[in-house]
Amino acid sequence: MNHVTTPEHWEKVYQTNPPDKVGWYKPRLETSLRWIRALSLDKDSPIIDVGGGASTLVDDLLADGYRSITVLDLSRTALALAKKRLGERAASVTWLEADITSVDLPACHYDLWHDRAVFHFLTHPRQRKRYVDNLLKALTPSGHLIIATFSPEAPPSCSGLPVERYSADKLQRILGSEFRLKKSVEELHITPGGVEQMYLYCHFQRTA
């Protein structure tokens, strides 16, 4: 079994490392925020942050006035850290402790699906298919996908696990004709431990 679908692995990661010391940590997801703001979504538009965990994206989305935010993560500890950080504001967020390849999400609900550093851990085709099936089920017909994965130049593993690396064309092939690539950019991420990881950010829009 790929350990991305094993909560125990991610519980251990967050229980043995402060949230600002995990490999994918960024104090602020500037690219994601900039792209989300450029969409000019209604403040009531449902947004899901897949693998959001202890990420600060939810803080910034709340500060921007978004009122329908869901944060999904396998790790109960990661979600608890985010809730504690947000304090009273956490009550306005929907928190899902779940596996994105098997969770039952509401149909045709989210206007934006955000994923930074989850999809590349799905190294088996059946996992990727389940992810895409859930994406197709839960995203609205013209909804947006902002996804960040390891690029071909990135290391072949992260957090002790193998990863699948992607070009924009490779992501497009997996997502299929129901998604159209709007833009992509590579961004160098340096982990708290000093490791260089090249990320690929892509914005897709659903076409059907």
Q: What is the residue extent of each domain of the chain?
A: 3-18+31-206
Angle, CA of 36, 112 and 101, to the nearest 5°: 130
Q: What is the pLDDT of residue 3?
A: 43
Report residue 193's pLDDT band, with 50, 70 and 90 as the boundaries: confident
pLDDT for residue 206 is more than 70: yes
Mean pLDDT of all residues belonging to the chain: 90
47-57 tens-digit pLDDT: 999 999 888 99
- Neighbouring C-alpha atoms within 13 Å toward the C-beta of 89: 17
How far apart are the C-alpha atoms of 73 and 153, rounded to whole Å? 26
Report residue 104's pLDDT band, with 50, 70 and 90 as the boundaries: very high
Residue 146 · residue 115 · CB < 8 Å: yes
Global pTM value: 0.90
Rounded mean pLDDT of 99-125?
96
Give just the sign of the alpha carbon dihedral 31, 35, 111, 119: negative
Q: Residue 47's closest CA among 30, 32, 25?
A: 32
CATH architecture of 3-18+31-206: 3-Layer(aba) Sandwich (3.40)
Q: What is the pLDDT of residue 2?
A: 46
Lowest mean pLDDT among 17-26, 52-61, 129-138, 171-180: 17-26
pLDDT for residue 5 is more than 70: no
Q: Which residues contact 12 (CB under 8 A, 6 or more apart)?
A: none
Q: What is the 3-state secondary structure (H, E, C) of 150-191?
A: ECCCCCCEECCEECCCCCHHHHHHHHCCCEEEEEEEEEEEEC
